[in-house]
Amino acid sequence: MKAKETKTQEIQSVPSKKGEIHPMENLLRMDRMPHIWCPSCGIGLAVTAFASALEKANIDPNKISIVSGIGCTGRVAGYVKLDSFHTTHGRPIAFGTGIRVANPKIKVVVFSGDGDLIAIGGNHFIHAARRNIDMLVVCVNNFIYAMTGGQVAPTTPLAAYATTSPYGCVEPPFNIPYIADSSGAVYVARWTTLHIRRLINSLAEALQKKGFSVVEVISPCGMYYSRINKLGDGLDMMKFYHDNVEIRHGEDTKNLDIGFQTKIICGKFVDRERPSYMERYNQWLSDVKGGSRDEG
Amino acid sequence: MKANPTDVLTGIYYIDGDVAAGYGALAAGCKLVAGYPITPSTEAFEAMCRKGPQVGTVFIQMEDEFGSISAVLGAVWSGVKSMTITSGPGYSLMMESIGFGAMLETPFVLLNIQRGGPSTGVPTKTGQADMMQSRWGSHGDYELIAISPDSPQEMFDYTIKAFNLAEKYRCPVMIMSDECVGHMTEKVVIPEADKIEIEPRRFYKGPPEEYLPFSPDPDLVPKIAKAGDGLGLYITGRVHDERGYPVKNEEFKAKYVRRLVDKIRLNKDKIIELKEESTDDADVVVVSYGISSRVAVKGVEIARQKGIKVGALRLVTVWPFPDEKIIDLAKKVKAFVVPEINYGQIVFDVARCCHGQANVVLIPHGGAGVHNPLDISDAIESAAKEDKKIEGVVEFKTRLEKIVFERGLKLKE
């Protein structure tokens, strides 16, 4: 009984006008608001897009688990009203693999940042793509380690500044769609947080896809990436996306490198069919045993 | 609850400890095993991959140890029992996620077939030098349970017990075996399913809106749930309140982490299993675990033939440590002799509990082999003869050490 009281109390403490309900209240944990993201950050837009995509894709939210790692985007799981898992740094894909393989009725969405998924978690990323685990990976790419205060990331464009590349980044960055494509992902797209409608459509499409799908979301970090590189505020970065994004569906993923303040190519690059891990596993099981597990 | 008959490979086998542990996990209802090959633990993973499909257990060989333990944690939260298997360097790699598992109160089992360390060490030979790592390896305060079997039959039996303890206390359970027991081939009897007791998962069954994933029962252990049940779980490695929501004030930190520690400490009596023999009138008690306890049997026997009153205390459960037992014995005995295949780990906990009331002798071993029983009997004999109290831990000079350090070691040997 005591437990129930605590819950109600928390919900009441959310500042809202009487009778007003947030349109996404059924998908967001309103009792956790306000969120931690800075003004001008794009992660909130990515979350809103994801919530809209969930409604659009018409999937039972009770059957979706959202898994995040560590970092600014790592906090996403905690704001979405699904089964949320905020795991260790770099491991959400491996954690999600365990969920999916042990219980194929659950759809896994990994929502994390570029550092978490491509640096420390890079190995899990390529192997989950190779296995073609049924999973949607939303990778918010803000070109920097923001949670720790703006260090260089494996996605930081050449020559861009960060606190640990104070004279400009000397390492060439990863091209995320290219890694995903060459490792075997069945769906690869890239959008910025300016392209909300396209992003929603893309996420909804990827949610229904069987296999390993990757949607990269280029997102402004007004506090760290933008400030140290003198790129203006969030609005300036959105303006930059507006002027410099080129949409090229089906573009060869080799051509998707992002330089410092260069053109960003967005679109849906890969959409193909490959047997997923569970399909292969069940096929194998029925070959050796004459029966298969339930496929969700 | 009894074991599910389809999970139990009933029969009489002649198998090694690794395989026996694998069959034990299947019997306990482990439905996902994720691993990464590493000597000398691989046979256990292989056995589960071979027999898994027969009993409906899914196996996946992950890309590394980070991946295998993370997949295990994910599998547990999707509702199944799960285990990973590793050794040496792989165990070190898993440390972060062991703490994560303890923080999320995730019931899972980790089988560590210890090998000679540090680093790559002697991969194909034995060691017992991960004992402290199993207790303190992950950062922060937490408690877990560690069991140390000493025969293939025990590998089967105690793997089931490990799963039961994990479910009962919602914590990681380590099976701290070693290469010797892992590769020892003996008769293993797998009984009928109705002879095997299985602890079911403590699933929450009340109304969804009232569920608090971290609100404890009177035994300090909360009810667990699984993904996909519409409970809107929020599971985080951050310090959290009863809803699972992160909090960072010191009151919550104190409350939550205190409970993580207390749920094991205050249930110690129910968790700890010891095997005690002739300690009532003993002058010297040999404290040992795992393969060393098997070697110690011979050492004790030789000492008894010489007329020395020796008792034996075998730590089947190493963590939580049986403080009270050692404190109790220290009042009665002259000395404790602790043979372990390392340069002193559990011996320091024995000494801690002694409060200087009895002498404590360590029989060290560098690994890649087991103790010579004559060293154990000699150590018992000299400990029985020693009349003055010696502070701290006394190190017994073994035959091996004498050969190596007094006669010198030629490279060609």
Q: Domain spans of chain A?
A: 35-289
A94 contacts chain B (CB < 8 A): yes
- B70 interaction partners in chain A (CB closer than 8 Å): 87-88, 91, 94-95, 97-98, 124
Instruction: Per-residue pLDDT tens, chain A, 296 aa: give them.
Output: 444 444 444 444 555 566 778 888 889 999 999 999 999 999 999 999 999 999 999 899 999 999 999 999 999 999 999 999 999 999 999 999 999 999 999 999 999 999 999 999 999 999 999 999 999 999 999 999 999 999 999 999 999 999 999 999 999 999 999 999 999 999 999 999 999 999 999 999 999 999 999 999 999 999 999 999 999 999 999 999 999 999 999 999 999 999 999 999 999 999 999 999 999 999 988 888 765 555 44
Cα distance from A11 to chain B (closest Cα, Å)?
Answer: 13
Residue A74 one-letter amino acid: G
The DSSP bridge pattern shows strands B122-126 and B108-116 to be antiparallel
For A282, other C-beta atoms within 10 Å of its C-beta total 18
d(CA B167, CA B201): 6
Res. B297: pLDDT tops 80: yes
Which domains does chain B carry? 5-195 (3.40.50.970), 275-407 (3.40.50.920)
* Cβ pair B228:A293 closer than 8 A: no
Nearest residue on chain A to B247, judged by CA atoms? A32
| Closest C-alpha to A73, from A96, A99, A42 | A42
Nearest residue on chain A to B52, judged by CA atoms? A285
Residue B131 one-letter amino acid: M
* Cβ pair B82:A98 closer than 8 A: yes
| B264-300: burial string, b at 16+ Cβ within 10 Å, e else | beebbeebbeeeeeebeebbbbbbbbbbbbbbbbebb
- B78 interaction partners in chain A (CB closer than 8 Å): 65, 98-100, 102-103, 106
Cα distance from A183 to chain B (closest Cα, Å)?
Answer: 14
For B254, other C-beta atoms within 10 Å of its C-beta total 11
A106 contacts chain B (CB < 8 A): yes
Average predicted confidence (pLDDT) for chain B:
95
The predicted-structure confidence for B242-291, as pLDDT tens digits, reads as follows 999 999 889 888 999 999 999 999 999 999 999 999 999 999 999 999 99
- B106 interaction partners in chain A (CB closer than 8 Å): none
| Residues A216, A217, A218, A220, CA torsion sign | negative
The reported pLDDT for the residue numbered A296 is 41
Q: What is the DSSP string of B223-247?
A: -B--TTSSS--EEESS-B-TTS-B-
- A32 interaction partners in chain B (CB closer than 8 Å): 245
> What CATH number is given for A35-289 in this structure?
3.40.50.970
pLDDT tier, B412 (very low <50, low <70, confident <90, very high otherwise): low
Residues across chain A: 296
Cα distance from A78 to chain B (closest Cα, Å)?
Answer: 7
- A91 interaction partners in chain B (CB closer than 8 Å): 66-67, 70, 97
Select from B75, B96, B228 the Cβ nearest to the Cβ of A98: B75
Cα distance from A160 to chain B (closest Cα, Å)?
Answer: 31
Q: Is B205 helix (H, G, I), strand (E, B) or coil?
A: coil
Nearest residue on chain A to B66, judged by CA atoms? A91
For A251, other C-beta atoms within 10 Å of its C-beta total 18
Nearest residue on chain B to A31, judged by CA atoms? B245
- B96 interaction partners in chain A (CB closer than 8 Å): 88
Size of interface A-B (CB pairs under 8 A): 150
d(CA A99, CA A83): 11
Select from B31, B54, B66 the Cβ nearest to the Cβ of A102: B31
